[in-house]
Amino acid sequence: MLANFIYFSIFENFWLSFVSPFLTFLGIYIIINLDRAGFFWAGFFTGILWFYWISFSFIYYDLAWLMPVVILGISLIYGLIFLAASFPSFVALRAILLFVFSYIAPFGFNWFNLEATLVLGAFEPSVRGLGFVFLAAILASYLKGAFKLLAILLCFVCALQFKSASGANLPFSLELTNTKIEQTNRWNKDLKNEQVDEILALIQQAITAKKDAILLPESALPLFITHERFLRQRLLELSKDIAIISGALAHENEQNFNSAFLFKDGEMLRFDKHILVPFGEEIPLPKFAKNFINKLFYDGASDFATAKKVSDYEIKGVKIRNAICYEATTNELHKGEFDVMFAISNNGWFLHKILPSTQPILQRNLLKYYATKYGKTIYHSVNGSNSEIIAPKQSLLKGKFGL
């Protein structure tokens, strides 16, 4: 039930969305009234339903045999988090602990976000909205009869989203691109020139369509731009007709960076990723363990280096926050003054042509949550899944019932 908002989002159905937060409430109510073993298994299977797709990335490191181990490890972590919330005897205290523990980010991975379970339906995806859903579950555990029903309804009213934020819109035309390159081919050196030619063709099409800017996905250029003098020159020439934002790699001072590059008016700017993916781009463990894991599983590769702070740039007077994949779903990237966010992702790591993946759906819901929380519009260019413009959630009270 805690995962329903992920799977209901597949259908984009109003009534499923409307029902979704009530199932979240029911899930919380059931969990806080379980015994300790029940808490553990609730967390265990929640971990699977939310994050089984993380294991898919190991296919592309030729470590597919680790997939069940990864799924088991993730499930155990969330099973133990839920189990820790079960130790008090009082249901209310258990609920409070579960609420608090839901804000724990194991190894810095913050995608288990119970506030985001309310991005569907009429409730506000916020501390207030989630808090009243938990309070409804607590009161339902203690009260009986009409008092129980009245208390639950009152909590639901308090959890409603009453106001709608509206993010800024771009005053210029943007080509929001989408690519479908499989991860098995992404870093194939024999296909590098073909992939670069496809990107150049997309840029040329945008110029022909008289677009002011083009946003390309993370790793759209599967190479180190810092090593490609002729390609840089070509992009600089094209940038006299259109602003180009593309993901690629950079190398400087014996360090590698996952970066976004802006080519505009014959000049190039580089914006390095500020927050890395735990266990994907960095190993969030002590140095001795980090070196061991990198040597054992990643052929001795070192972690990516990072920018010291978030990156912003301007196009036609619009202040744009740069975000590369995972960091677009963190609080830090949404703080401060900016107009819109340009986010780029390569979801190919978590997709497979045979195995279904809910990663893009969960990512979209998390982006919707942050867009709503901070009142910003996110322009998201993706490889592997759909690109889209993500605006803040609108109140169903106003949009559907005219209130």
Q: Characterize the bridge pairing of strands 174-176 and 213-215.
A: parallel
Asked if 98 and 332 touch (Cβ cutoff 8 Å), the reply is no
**Which pair of tokens denotes residue 199?**
């990107």
Question: Closest Cα partner for 4 from 347, 360, 362, 350?
Answer: 362
Above 50 in pLDDT, residue 368?
Answer: yes
State yes or no: is 388 an active-site residue: no
Above 90 in pLDDT, residue 296?
Answer: no
State yes or no: is 273 an active-site residue: yes
Model confidence over 211-265: pLDDT tens digits?
999 999 999 999 999 999 999 999 999 999 999 999 999 999 889 999 999 999 9
Residue 366 and residue 343: Cα distance in Å, rounded?
13
CA distances in angstroms from 228 to 189, 233, 234, 249, 262, listed in the order given: 14, 9, 10, 11, 15
pLDDT of residue 323: 98
Above 60 in pLDDT, residue 157?
Answer: yes
Model confidence over 105-129: pLDDT tens digits?
998 999 999 999 999 999 999 999 9
Question: Closest Cα partner for 91 from 155, 47, 159, 28?
Answer: 28
Q: Characterize the bridge pairing of strands 255-264 and 213-215.
A: unpaired
Asked if 340 and 360 touch (Cβ cutoff 8 Å), the reply is no
pLDDT of residue 297: 67
Model confidence over 264-278: pLDDT tens digits?
999 999 999 999 998
Compute the half-sphere exposure of residue 402: CA atoms within 13 Å on the CB side of its CA.
0
Q: What is the mean pLDDT of the chain?
A: 93
Supply φ then ψ for residue 246, to 5 degrees: -140, 145
For the beta carbon of residue 90, count every other beta carbon within 10 angstroms.
12
pLDDT of residue 402: 38
Query: How many residues would you count in the chain?
Result: 403
Above 80 in pLDDT, residue 173?
Answer: yes
pLDDT of residue 40: 98
Of the chain, the end-to-end C-alpha distance in Å amounts to 29
State yes or no: is 155 an active-site residue: no
Long-range contacts of 316-324 (CB under 8 A, 24+ apart): 316/171, 316/172, 316/212, 317/171, 318/168, 318/170, 318/171, 318/172, 321/376, 322/260, 322/271, 323/378, 324/218, 324/247, 324/258, 324/259, 324/260, 324/273
Q: What percent of the chain has pLDDT over 70?
A: 96
Residue 54 and residue 391: Cα distance in Å, rounded?
26
Supply φ then ψ for residue 257, to 5 degrees: -130, 140
Catalytic residue, candidates 273, 373, 376, 393: 273
pLDDT of residue 298: 65
- This prediction has a pTM of 0.94
Give the angle subtended at the CA of 179 by the CAs of 173 and 184, to the nearest 5°: 160
Model confidence over 88-106: pLDDT tens digits?
999 999 999 999 999 999 9
Residue 106 and residue 324: Cα distance in Å, rounded?
21
pLDDT of residue 397: 78
Supply φ then ψ for residue 318, to 5 degrees: -95, 125
Q: What is the 3-state secondary structure (H, E, C) of 300-348?
A: CCCCCECCCCCEEEEECCEEEEEEEHHHHHCCHHHCCCCCEEEEEEEHH
Average pLDDT over residues 32-53: 97
Above 50 in pLDDT, residue 401?
Answer: no
Residue 353 C-alpha from the chain's centroid: 21
Give the angle subtended at the CA of 315 by the CAs of 314 and 321, to the nearest 5°: 45
Catalytic residue, candidates 325, 373, 376, 393: 325
Catalytic residue, candidates 124, 218, 281, 327: 218
The confidence band for 285, taking pLDDT boundaries of 50, 70 and 90, is: confident
Average pLDDT over residues 283-306: 74
pLDDT of residue 99: 98
